[in-house]
């Protein structure tokens, strides 16, 4: 097995009659080792600011459809917004109990989809969700920082450049340094286009609807 082998949803979750969400530190570790950390197998420079972000990954077995399409993943900026005071406080407590703190971003992945999709599809989905987890830019296009020197994070929709990033990586094959099997697999599946991924992304569909 290579270092790239991806976490699968735990049987505990898949077989549970009561649990429908489960935090996954394994997904966080995998996403960092695959896309974010210096020297990552499929390192993506566009995610560099995420080396300084706390990411909370969650599996869910709750089926989610929007406009007739399966929602396979979603990225939210934390703390949760657009809720009443108690709803928001309750959501924050739940998330802090999962991760020990409220992370900068919460990324939810459909566990049933993850069980059946192949490696390139899964990589494209997670890479895509990470693109939503952006650093804000100032009026000159320079990255913004908070007073204490941390990146100022924001949720971002997909502009053309970001689509190009995904197509470049999954259409033309990932960057050098990737595990050969994954490069071959990705180059066999150029049809995993950004448009297709955004159909399967709850964040994209919400931003489009907004």
Give whichever of 42 and 72 is closer to Zn ion, judged by the CB atom: 72
With 0-12 / 13-18 / 19 or more C-beta atoms within 10 angstroms meaning exposed / middle / buried, residue 24 is buried
Beta bridge partners of 135: 153
Rounded Cα–Cα distance for residues 152 and 53 (Å): 10
Is residue 115 within 8 A of residue 109, CB to CB? The reply is no
Q: Of residues 162, 203, 208, 210, which one binds Zn ion by CB under 5 A? A: 203
Give whichever of 59 and 131 is closer to Zn ion, judged by the CB atom: 131
Of 3-11, 96-104, 178-186, 200-208, which segment contacts Zn ion by CB under 5 A?
200-208
Q: Is 204 in the site for Zn ion (CB under 5 A)?
A: yes
What are the CA-CA distances from residue 2 to residues 25, 30, 76, 88, 193 (Å)?
Answer: 19, 12, 30, 40, 25
Is residue 70 within 8 A of residue 206, CB to CB? The reply is no
**Binding mask of the shown chain, residues 150 to 189, with x at each position contacting Zn ion by CB under 5 A:** ----------------------------------------
3-state secondary structure of 200: coil
Q: Is 107 in the site for Zn ion (CB under 5 A)?
A: no
| Number of residues forming the site for Zn ion (CB under 5 A) | 4
Q: Is 201 in the site for Zn ion (CB under 5 A)?
A: yes
Give whichever of 13 and 155 is closer to Zn ion, judged by the CB atom: 155
Q: Which residues bind Zn ion (CB under 5 A)?
A: 198, 201, 203-204
């Amino acid at each position: 097995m290579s270092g790239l082998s991806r976490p699968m949803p735990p049987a505990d979750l898949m077989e549970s009659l009561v649990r429908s969400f489960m935090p996954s530190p394994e997904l966080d570790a995998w996403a960092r080792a695959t896309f974010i950390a210096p020297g990552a197998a499929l390192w993506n420079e566009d995610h560099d600011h995420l080396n300084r972000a706390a990411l909370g990954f969650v599996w869910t077995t709750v089926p989610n459809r929007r406009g007739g399409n399966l929602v396979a993943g979603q990225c939210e900026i934390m703390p949760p917004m657009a809720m009443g005071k108690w709803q928001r406080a309750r959501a924050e407590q739940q998330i802090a109990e999962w991760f020990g703190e409220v992370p900068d971003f919460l990324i939810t992945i459909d566990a049933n989809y993850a069980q059946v999709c192949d490696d390139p599809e899964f990589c494209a989905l997670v890479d895509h969700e990470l693109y939503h987890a952006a650093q804000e830019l100032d009026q000159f296009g320079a990255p913004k920082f908070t007073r204490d020197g941390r990146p100022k994070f924001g949720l971002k929709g997909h502009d053309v450049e970001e689509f190009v990033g995904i197509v470049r990586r999954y259409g033309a094959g990932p960057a050098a340094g990737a595990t050969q099997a994954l490069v071959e697999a990705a180059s066999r599946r150029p049809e995993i286009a950004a448009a297709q991924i955004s159909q399967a992304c709850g964040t994209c569909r919400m931003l489009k609807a907004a």
